[in-house]
Structure 1
Amino acid sequence: MKIIIGGQVDKKEVEALVQKYGPEGVITEIRSDLEAALALKTGTGDYYLGACHTGGGGALAMAIAILGASQCETVSMPGRQPTEQKIREAVQAGKKAFGFTADHKEMAVSMIMRAIQEFQKGVAG
């Protein structure tokens, strides 16, 4: 699995969290938002994670423009923490790009990675 890290803030911290909560052997790459969205569009990345101060603006603007809103999910915003159920539903619906606020990064990344792994086990099983 290859996770592309974009967004406007805390890219290295998000990458470390993906390594911590992702499956063994997860591959991560930090890229600009444009490069990250294009990686998903061309199939050279499986999922995109990005943080910004609003959760959806700087984290997902390029992904929304290139992939379409149907492929993107804002999982947290200022004053709204991520929820496991909403993230699971987004992954099961086929969404590939996830944005969140930097202050929720550990909670968001752990939930996103868990939902992706559960989804992949369900598809493979």
Structure 2
Amino acid sequence: MIRIVIAGLQKDRIAKCVVAAGGDRVEATVTTDMDGAKKVKNGQADYYIGACNSGGGAALSIAIGLLGYGRCATVAKSGSKPDAQNIEALVSKGTIAFGIAEESIETAVAFIMDSLLKKHAT
């Protein structure tokens, strides 16, 4: 079971996308950014997905502070499209917190989930 915490704007929308992509292989928990980042840090969750208008600022600020800059990445900035290959590379290198812009939720979450499911298939 992949445990994902979800914070920021449009949390319920993100959670629906996570569950739609991962089915019974994922557990999606809607929470605050502080509680979500703490859960990942303490091993109570595996990954963090946050959304804001830009995809980088409020989506990841608390996660960066608690988990470290090198474990967090913006994967969908406002005005640009998420890149599946980039997300797969980030997951492969150990990124555990993902920031996305509201406008890219469906596409970005689908790419994130595809990469996480592949990583955890083995």
Measured in 2, the distance between the counterparts of 1:115 and 1:25 equals: 13
Aligned to 1:6: 7
Measured in 1, the distance between the counterparts of 2:93 and 2:99 equals: 16
Opposite residue 41 of structure 1, the aligned amino acid is K
Aligned to 2:97: 97
Point out 4+ residue stretches in structure 1 off by more than 6 angstroms: none
> Which runs of structure 2 are paired with 1:1-125 in the superposition (5 Å)?
1-7=2-8, 9-121=9-121, 124=122
Structure 1: gaps (5+ residues): none
1:83-124: per-residue Cα shift (whole Å, max 9, x none)?
001100000000100010011000000000000111122xx2
Asked whether the equivalents of residues 51 and 59 of structure 1 are also in contact (C-alpha less than 8 Å), the reply is yes
**Taking structure 1 as the reference length, what is the TM-score of the superposition?**
0.93
Measured in 1, the distance between the counterparts of 2:53 and 2:40 equals: 23
Measured in 1, the distance between the counterparts of 2:105 and 2:65 equals: 23
Structure 2: gaps (5+ residues): none
- Please state how far the C-alpha of 1:25 moved relative to its aligned partner: 3.8
**Taking structure 2 as the reference length, what is the TM-score of the superposition?**
0.96
Kindly tell me the number of residue pairs found equivalent between the two proteins. 121
Measured in 2, the distance between the counterparts of 1:80 and 1:14 equals: 18
Cα RMSD for the two superposed structures: 0.9
Asked whether the equivalents of residues 23 and 117 of structure 1 are also in contact (C-alpha less than 8 Å), the reply is no
Measured in 2, the distance between the counterparts of 1:89 and 1:23 equals: 23
Percent identical: 36
Measured in 2, the distance between the counterparts of 1:71 and 1:36 equals: 14
Measured in 2, the distance between the counterparts of 1:11 and 1:62 equals: 16
